[in-house]
């Protein structure tokens, strides 16, 4: 429990603000992806494939996106029907299924990224530059202060 009334108030404000920012950004991101015909899980799977050096297996994608293999299999199947990925058996180990982005899939991930950069630029441009820098500094500081839930660190986390 908080030691002082001031700390209790700060915690209550922080909880309220973090939930509101998180909810607002999740909703906005889902709406933006909808404009591209994608869901959030589909985009994160595409993004994971895009940033990997070689074609990942289904289990690698499941680990990378913190989802079950069955879930990833369903998502990959839908992405394949959309022409965004292909699946093929690994020639060295026929039990493994490798996933690869198509040219269309690569273009779509890049297009979403450019769209997100424009939207985030618009939001940051509403702040004085020194406030924008301070916001980013504090967000990084906050992320370093909380326990690592997902097994990733900020330096390893790719841009959206």
What ranges do the domains of the chain cover? 1-35, 36-145
| Distance from C-alpha of 117 to C-alpha of 101, rounded to nearest angstrom | 22
Tell whether pTM > 0.85: no
Q: What is the pLDDT of residue 146?
A: 86
Rounded Cα distance between 100 and 90, Å, is 12
In contact, 21 and 80? CB cutoff 8 Å: no
End-to-end Cα, the chain, rounded Å:
36
- 86: β partners: 100
Q: Report the pLDDT value the prediction gives residue 149, as an integer from 0 to 100.
A: 56
Q: Which CATH code, of 2.70.70.10, 1.25.40.10, 1.10.10.10, 3.20.20.150, is assigned to 36-145?
A: 1.10.10.10
Predicted pLDDT of residue 43: 96
Q: What is the pLDDT along the chain (160 residues), one digit of tens a residue?
A: 778 999 999 999 999 999 999 999 999 999 999 999 999 999 999 999 999 878 999 999 999 998 999 999 999 999 999 999 999 987 888 888 899 999 999 999 999 999 999 999 999 999 999 999 999 999 999 989 888 654 444 444 445 4
Q: Note whether 33 and 40 are within 8 A (CB).
A: yes
């Amino acid at each position: 429990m908080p030691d002082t009334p001031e700390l209790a108030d700060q915690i209550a404000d922080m909880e309220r603000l973090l939930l509101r920012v998180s909810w607002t950004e999740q909703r906005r991101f889902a709406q933006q992806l909808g404009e591209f015909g994608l869901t959030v899980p589909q985009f994160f799977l595409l993004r994971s494939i895009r940033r990997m050096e070689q074609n990942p297996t289904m289990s690698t994608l499941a680990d990378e996106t913190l989802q079950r293999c069955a879930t990833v299999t369903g998502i990959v199947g839908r992405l394949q029907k959309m022409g965004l990925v292909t699946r093929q058996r690994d020639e060295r180990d026929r039990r493994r299924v490798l996933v690869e982005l198509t040219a269309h899939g690569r273009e779509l991930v890049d297009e979403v990224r450019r769209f997100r950069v424009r939207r985030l630029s618009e939001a940051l441009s509403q702040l004085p530059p020194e406030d924008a820098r301070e916001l980013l500094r504090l967000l990084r500081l906050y992320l370093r202060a909380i326990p690592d839930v997902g097994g990733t660190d900020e330096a390893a986390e790719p841009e959206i």
